[in-house]
Structures are given as structure tokens and as C-alpha cells.
């Protein structure tokens, strides 16, 4: 595998939700078809509603939970595409902004959509919409049922 494939492959946002699992499946299938590596990224942050509880719970606990969720999700889904090189990364921060930062030199960014509603912002979700609007690479949004 070339360095270009490792550095500029497919980045996919994974959070353990069904839409992100569908996005990971799509990214792995694309990686198999194109020979690209897949970088599965789970972005976590301490929710604002944790308030002072966040001071008691160490950030490491959130990071460990995120790492466990990413490992579980990728292990479950990537087994169907053993030919695809999958790298896993856990990052702290705002999900959309961190996905864009990680995908800055990627060939493709893949995200799932949780959005619902009758207009484009609601149909694709806030993270997806932010990624489409600000990404430097092409973005694929995988909607439920696709």
C-alpha cells in the first residue's frame, strides 16, 4: 500500500450509531473497490450538560469509552472487507470540525446522516451539513436505508 493511500484515503466518521455503521460499510466497500485505506474516526467531547460532573469524571473515561465504541464498531463491520486497510483514530473536539481537520488531505470524507425533516439541513443532519459546506475534499453522506 502506498503512502498516498494511507495519507489520502477515505475518512469516515464513526460513533456507533446505525447511520455511522452504514457510512463505515459504504467507506469499506469503496475502499475495496478503489484500493484505498479507510481511516475510521470517532470524535468525542464532554457534553455541556455534564457541568460539574465532568470535573469529577476524568476526560480519560470519555476517551476510553470512545475508543471501546470505535473498536467494537469497526471490528463488527470491517470483518466483511479483510482486504481493506483500516486505521482507527479517536479524537476529542467538535465532531464536524474535527472530522474536517482529519480529512483535510483525504480523497473522500464519508459521514452518516441522522437528520430528519423536510428541508436539506434537517434531512442530512448538522454534522453532515457542516462537512458538506466546509470540506476540502468530496463528501459522501450515507442516509439510513441507503
3-state secondary structure 80-122: CCCCCCEEEEEEECCHHHHHHHHCCCCCEEEEECCCCCCCHHH
Identify the residue whose cell numbers are 474516526. 41
pLDDT recorded at residue 108: 98
Q: Give the global pTM.
A: 0.83
Q: What is the pLDDT of residue 136?
A: 92
Q: Which residues of 38-48 are buried (b: 16+ CB within 10 A; e: fewer)?
A: bbbbbbbeeee
pLDDT at 145: 72
- pLDDT computed for residue 79 by the predictor: 95
And the C-alpha cell for 92?
A: 476529542
**What is the per-residue pLDDT for 52?**
54
Domain boundaries, the chain: 3-142
**What confidence score (pLDDT) does residue 4 get?**
42
The three grid cell numbers given for residue 62, joined into one nine-digit string: 470519555
Name the CATH code of domain 3-142 (choices 2.40.50.140, 3.40.190.10, 3.40.50.12370, 3.40.50.720): 3.40.50.12370
Which positions of the chain have pLDDT values less than 70?
A: 1-8, 47-58, 115-125, 146
At residue 11, the pLDDT reads: 98
**pLDDT for position 1:** 42
Instruction: Look at residue 75 in the predicted model and tell me its pLDDT.
Output: 96
Amino acid at each position: 500500500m502506498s503512502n498516498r493511500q494511507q495519507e489520502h484515503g477515505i475518512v469516515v466518521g464513526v460513533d456507533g450509531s446505525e447511520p455511522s455503521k452504514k457510512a463505515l460499510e459504504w467507506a469499506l466497500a469503496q475502499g475495496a473497490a478503489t484500493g484505498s485505506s479507510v481511516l475510521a474516526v470517532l470524535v468525542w467531547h464532554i457534553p455541556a450538560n455534564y457541568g460539574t460532573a465532568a470535573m469529577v469524571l476524568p476526560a480519560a473515561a470519555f476517551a476510553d469509552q470512545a475508543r471501546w465504541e470505535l473498536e467494537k464498531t469497526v471490528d463488527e463491520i470491517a470483518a466483511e472487507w479483510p482486504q481493506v486497510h483500516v486505521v482507527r483514530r479517536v479524537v476529542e473536539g467538535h465532531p464536524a470540525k474535527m472530522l474536517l481537520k482529519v480529512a483535510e488531505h483525504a480523497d473522500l470524507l464519508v459521514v452518516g446522516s441522522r437528520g430528519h425533516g423536510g428541508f436539506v439541513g434537517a434531512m442530512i443532519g448538522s454534522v453532515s451539513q457542516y462537512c458538506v459546506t466546509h470540506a476540502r475534499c468530496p463528501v459522501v453522506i450515507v442516509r439510513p436505508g441507503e
